[in-house]
């Protein structure tokens, strides 16, 4: 059987075999095609979804809440710790007045737990498989109203982040994305798979479980790639001339279809179809870009990029607007920031690692007709995402250092 091998991915029939690690001797895990998972979800069957090795590195059983039966719920309980979660879009939960569990979320993965609920009618204690299946179906019913659920209960809804796996690579978002791709209500059920000794199932343990029960298994990464290939996540909205101290450039404005952010591509020269176009991706840093903060090199990096493309007569600077705002991004709240916030929100790092920088930039470059780049920015995932988009990466030069390694807290404002 002929297999197409590319970037550590082997396609063979309806399966994908890939390595979850880049190092030599990495564990190879056989994954099923996303199309099969979508078909199974639509048919009311469960699917195993695994996340990244550098995240939770575990697998969840997921299925449509509308398809929850006593038997399916009992199966989920039997192979998990028994905690039943119901991922759903925020609007769906708001309609039923199901609020977040806490206002100040300190979960290491930022999982948006809500208060626990039970269905108001048709349940007894709420803890049985039949009762929890009933609650899941009520949460997924578009005709349900506030009085159809009560709290506290035995089912935990999870609030999905807008944009799904393109904004957060979590099981919550993956579940909702699969449901929407299957044409179902954006309310699902997920449980974390465990071994008999209480440890988490990982790697080939998950594959063996899926094979034993005839369940499709996909990764969140493969779902991201599936959406990226089929969806346009940015749209061009304006083209104008931009005079700067470094020269006059073409500025192309883009609107982000996921979060509404307005990105900007600053273009010098004729880049359409050219080889090895120099590219910088600059995630927005309000304090650095606007005020020239000495706590980071964002302002100088942006100006250096513009100066370089002006001197070379060719290049693109993609300015990705995003982020949580000035205050939170620099840790100016009254509490000590969490480790996850330090990494994600820029207390120790500039916003080069903010979510979706690479995703948005890759789609912008594709829209501009760039087919071959020399990546000079420091968004770590850019080269990987560009290659997945079919763009040749001739060179990947990381120029911006991690500027905050030795800083415990950001400077006061």
Q: Is 331 annotated as a binding residue?
A: no
Q: Is 203 annotated as a binding residue?
A: no
Say how many C-beta atoms besides its own lie within 10 A of residue 114's C-beta: 22
Kindly state the tokens that stand for 98. Answer: 């199901």
Q: Is 169 annotated as a binding residue?
A: yes
Between the two ends of the chain, the Cα-to-Cα distance in Å is 63
Longest dimension (CA), the chain: 73
Q: Is 141 annotated as a binding residue?
A: no
If you search the block for the tokens 């990464």, which residue do you land on? 221
What are φ and ψ of residue 308, in 5° steps? -65, -45
Kindly state the tokens that stand for 295. Answer: 């706590």
Cβ contact 344:354 at 8 Å: yes
Q: Is 390 annotated as a binding residue?
A: no
CA distance readout (Å), 371 to 116, 280, 302, 328, 394: 49, 15, 23, 36, 10
Shortest CA distance to 261 belongs to which of 319, 301, 305? 319
Say how many C-beta atoms besides its own lie within 10 A of residue 50's C-beta: 29
Q: Is 356 annotated as a binding residue?
A: no
How many Å apart are CA 205 and CA 172, to the nearest integer? 22
**Binding-site entries for D-ribulose 5-phosphate:** 55-56, 60, 168-172
**Binding-site entries for Mg(2+):** 56, 171
**Binding-site entries:** 55-56, 60, 168-172
């Amino acid at each position: 059987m002929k297999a197409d091998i590319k970037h550590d991915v082997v396609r063979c029939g309806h399966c994908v075999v890939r390595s979850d690690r880049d190092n030599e001797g990495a564990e190879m895990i056989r994954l099923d095609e996303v199309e099969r998972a979508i078909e199974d979800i639509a048919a009311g069957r469960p699917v195993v979804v695994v996340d990244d090795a550098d995240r939770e590195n575990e697998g969840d059983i997921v299925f449509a809440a509308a398809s929850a039966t006593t038997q399916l719920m009992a199966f989920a309980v039997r192979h998990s710790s028994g905690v039943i979660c119901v991922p759903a879009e925020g609007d769906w939960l708001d309609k039923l007045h199901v609020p977040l569990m806490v206002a100040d979320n300190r979960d290491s993965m930022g999982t948006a737990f809500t208060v626990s609920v039970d269905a108001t009618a048709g349940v007894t204690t709420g803890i049985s498989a039949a009762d929890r299946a009933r609650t899941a179906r009520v949460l997924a019913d578009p005709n349900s109203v506030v009085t159809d659920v009560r709290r506290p209960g035995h089912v935990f809804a999870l609030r999905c982040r807008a944009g799904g796996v393109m904004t957060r690579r979590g099981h919550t978002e993956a579940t909702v994305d699969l449901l929407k791709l299957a044409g179902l209500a954006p309310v699902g059920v997920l449980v974390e798979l465990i071994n008999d000794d209480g440890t988490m199932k990982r790697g080939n343990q998950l594959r063996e479980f899926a094979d034993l029960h005839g369940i499709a298994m996909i990764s969140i990464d493969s779902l991201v790639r599936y959406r990226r290939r089929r969806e346009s996540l940015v749209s061009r909205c304006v083209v104008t001339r931009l005079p700067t101290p470094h020269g006059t450039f073409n500025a192309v404005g883009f609107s982000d279809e996921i979060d509404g952010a307005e990105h900007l591509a600053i273009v010098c020269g004729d880049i359409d179809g050219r080889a090895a176009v120099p590219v910088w991706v600059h995630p927005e840093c309000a304090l650095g870009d606007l005020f020239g903060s000495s706590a980071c090199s964002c302002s100088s990096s942006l100006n250096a990029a513009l100066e370089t493309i002006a001197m070379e007569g060719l290049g693109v600077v993609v300015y990705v607007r995003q982020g949580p705002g000035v205050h939170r991004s620099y840790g100016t709240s009254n509490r000590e920031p969490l480790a996850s916030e330090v990494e994600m929100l820029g207390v120790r790092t500039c916003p080069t690692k903010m979510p979706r920088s690479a995703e948005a930039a890759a789609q912008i470059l594709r829209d501009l007709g760039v087919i071959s780049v020399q990546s000079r920015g420091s968004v770590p995932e850019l080269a990987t995402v560009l290659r997945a988009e079919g763009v040749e990466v001739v060179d990947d030069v990381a120029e911006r250092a991690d500027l905050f390694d030795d800083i415990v807290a950001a400077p006061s404002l």
